Structure formats: structure tokens, C-alpha cells
Structure 1
Amino acid sequence: MAANDPPSPPEEQCPQLSTTVSSPVVDEEIPGRPEPREEAGPQPVFTSPKWKRDLSSDSEDDLAELLEPDPEPVWSVETLCGLRMTLKRRRVSTVRPEHHKVFTRLLEDPVVKKFLAWDKMLRVSDKYLLSMVIAYFSRAGLFSWQYRPIHFFLALYLANDMEEDNQAPKQDIFYFLYGKSYAQRPMFHKLRFQFIRSMRWRIWVSREECEEIQAYNPELWVWARDRTNLT
């Protein structure tokens, strides 16, 4: 920290979380996943889309995830009058089991776990905002093993951007991660823009999709984070 930075945040605050592009937030090895290929220069948080990768250098798990076809469109009968039938195209979720697994894995990260415990009033992390995090993971185009805690916070910040009328509470994310220092915020916003681009600007998530995401594993403990249950 530079000499002119403000004093450190209160004791209950989490240690600072690095968001530099040259180094992912969490550098520990993920069991069962291949190490990233060595390349010249720093390793970015966001890599090129999966369809541009060299298939010959990926593991079998990655290839299975890469080559899995997109869901087929589903049609349902909307009206039926005599021999005339009106069909309606139903929305098909792009969220797959691996995206739920990524989310569940990140919930066990010490920084993420401490943040969720810190946000006791669910100002920025109720069940619908957390559902949007999974939806964004499904659209970002990264392999499952590439997701780090920084992606969780980027997605959660973006969810608050989209859904909350009061934009002040989302500043709690900055306060928790960086305290009163503003030095890291420009980098966070740069990564947020890259995250939006990786989703091809598809940042709106319907309530129906959020509820479908929650229904995949209804016993997951974060789905109890319901603001209507707060006294």
C-alpha cells in the first residue's frame, strides 16, 4: 500500500483481495484440473472464448464441456382452436450443472464465505442476486476451472447494478474488499467491463430463470437468504 493511502479498514473487514489482471485472485491449484498453458507475458483473468481455443491442448473434461451442444429450443402449445394451433417458444436455460458446481465451490472460499456472513442484512447478496451470479457464469464463456473469487464479486456487483434501485449498498462490496482505499477500484471496473463483454452484453436475467436456478439444488444454504424473512 502506498504511503499516501488512507488507514486500514476496521478489524472486522476482510483482507484486501487483489484484482490485478496479471494474477488471478486465487492462485492455488484446483484438484483434478489441468494447469493453464504457459504463455509469454502475464496471465489475464479473462481468456479468449472457448470456441477459439486449440482443441488439441485441452483435457478430456474441458473438451466435453466445450463440445457439449447448446440446448435445443422448446415449443409449447399456447392456444388451440379447432385445427388451428398457436405455438410459443419457451425459454431454455443455458445454465448447466458445471456452473452450479463452480458457484458451490466458490461459496467455500474463505473470502466469499466471510463476505456473505458480513452482509447480514442481505443488502447486496440475497438469493435472487446470487442466482444471477450463476446465470452470469453460464454466459461468460470460461471453463469451470478458470473461475476465481474475483469473478464472484464482479458478477454480484453487476447483478446489483441491474436489479437494485438503490445503488449505494453495492459500495459495500468495495468497502469489504479494499476498505477506504480507492486505488483498486479502477481495476475492478476494468475487469467488470471485460466480464460484460465476455457475456456479449447479455446481462438481463429474468425472475423465472433465477427461480429455475434455485430449484436445481433447493437445499443449498444460500437460497435461505430471503429478504422477506428478515425481521
Structure 2
Amino acid sequence: RGEDNGRTRKRERSPCDEEVQERPQKRRNAAISSLQQDEMAAFFRVLEDPNIRTFLTLDSCMRISDKYLLAMVFVYFIRAGLQTEEYNKNFFAALFLANQMEEEVGFRHEIYQWAFGYTWMQKRQQILHDRNLLLLRIGFRALVDQDTCEQVMAVDPLHWAWRRERPIHHSRAFPMLRRNVQQVNTYGPWSSLPPCMLCRTMHLSLHAR
């Protein structure tokens, strides 16, 4: 997807991307054409799960769970034909996949601890296994364009999840050698990379209830 309020494309545009853009609008949006209100409501309930909500709150500067990545998670659930009761157990695997598809910087490894708690070192291969199963269920259709994400958000545009706008100053990838100690440490469970000074006020305000 193109640059958009702090987001940049991970990959150069490929022939596959061009084909997706040229498909008729109806076909491109087939993943959400049968969207039901109860599916969206179930997704929002997953976001309110105490562990997931805390993870989202502590995701510093929304590096691994901004609104587009969350919309991609929902699209994967629809494409996979998951039952609503399967949403919770597949959330972190879907978010991991979304990060692999869209992000240059490997902050996605923070997801391990939130998915498995203090046993994450022993279980970290499980999320890769779960991701692979999800890929099979979606028929390897992991590319989600920006239009599809925005249509998902338009179903309930006032929900707090869709206010998770990544700041523009976090839009660029930067080399490993230029990262500070905080940016290469692994945090969690129940902690995360501290927010930068520019994001701190916005981050706290967004999640105030």
C-alpha cells in the first residue's frame, strides 16, 4: 500500500500488485463483501480481551498494531472463514503475518511474549505454526490493499481501534546499527518498547477511558 500518514510500502510495486489494482472493485473487495455486523462485533470483543487490550495499550507508538495492521487481521479472519470463537486464539498469529507482509522493522517479535507469556522461549515456534495454518486457510492470499482496510474501518469508523494512527515520524525503516538499546531489546510479557517522547502524550490520550 502506498504511503499514508506514517505508513510506507515494504515492497516495490510488483506485477502481482499491479494485477490486484487492476481487478474490478467488486472482485478486489470480495473478502469483505459478506461482512456481517456480528463478525465485526466479535472482532471488537477480541480487542477488549484483557491481554490483547493491554498489549495494544503498551504497543509503543503503534509500531506493530496500528489501524491498518488491525484491519488486516480482520480481513484474514474473513478470508479464512474463521468462526467468531476462533478469533481470539488466532489474533496474534494473524497480526504476526500482517507485520511480516507490511513492515520492514522486526518489532513483530514483541508478539511472542504476548501470545505465550513467560514460556514464550519454549513456544515461539508455535506462532509460526499457527501463522502457516492461517496462511493455508486464507489460500495464501496475505496481500491486503489499502482500499480493503479502509472499507473494513468504514463499517464502524468511530471505534477506537481505527484511531490507532501511526505517527509520521515512525514511517521509515532504519538500519539495525542505528537502533538504540531499547529498540533491539525484547520486552514483555506485560511490557513493551517504551513510547518515544513525541508519541507519549498521544499514546496515553488515545487509551484513556
The TM-score, its normalising length taken from structure 1, stands at: 0.57
Aligned-pair CA distance for 1:151: 0.8
In 2, the alpha carbon distance for the partners of 1:89 and 1:123 equals 32
2:71 to 131, 138, 151: 131
Q: Distance in 2 between matches of 1:153 and 1:192?
A: 9
Q: Which runs of 5+ in 2 are unaligned?
A: 1-22, 170-197, 199-209
> Paired residue for 1:89?
24
| Corresponding residue number in structure 1 for 2:62 | 122
Aligned equivalent of 1:204, options 138, 143, 149: 143
Other structure's SS at 2:54 match: helix
Q: CA deviation at 1:228?
A: 2.5
**1:175 and 2:110 correspond:** no
- Please identify which structure carries the higher helix content: 2
Larger Cα-atom Rg: 1
Structure 1 residue aligned with 2:158: 219
Q: Distance in 2 between matches of 1:116 and 1:101?
A: 18
Question: Are the counterparts in 2 of residues 124 and 169 from structure 1 also a CA contact under 8 Å?
Answer: yes
CA separation in 1, counterparts of 2:65 and 2:46?
14
2:100 to 151, 156, 161: 161
Q: Secondary structure at the match of 2:68?
A: helix
Q: Distance in 1 between matches of 2:61 and 2:110?
A: 12
The structure, 1 or 2, with the larger RCO (C-alpha pairs under 8 Å, 6+ apart) is 2
**Offset at residue 175 of structure 1 (A):** 3.0
Q: Secondary structure at 1:124's aligned position in 2?
A: coil
What is the RMSD of the two structures over their aligned residues, measured on CA atoms?
A: 1.9
What is the Cα deviation at residue 229 of structure 1?
6.8
1:106 aligns with 2:43: no
Share of identical aligned residues, percent? 34
TM-score, reference length from structure 2:
0.63
Distance 2:149 2:80 in 1: 17
Give the paired residue count. 142
State the alpha-carbon separation in 2 of the partners of residues 209 and 226 from structure 1: 17
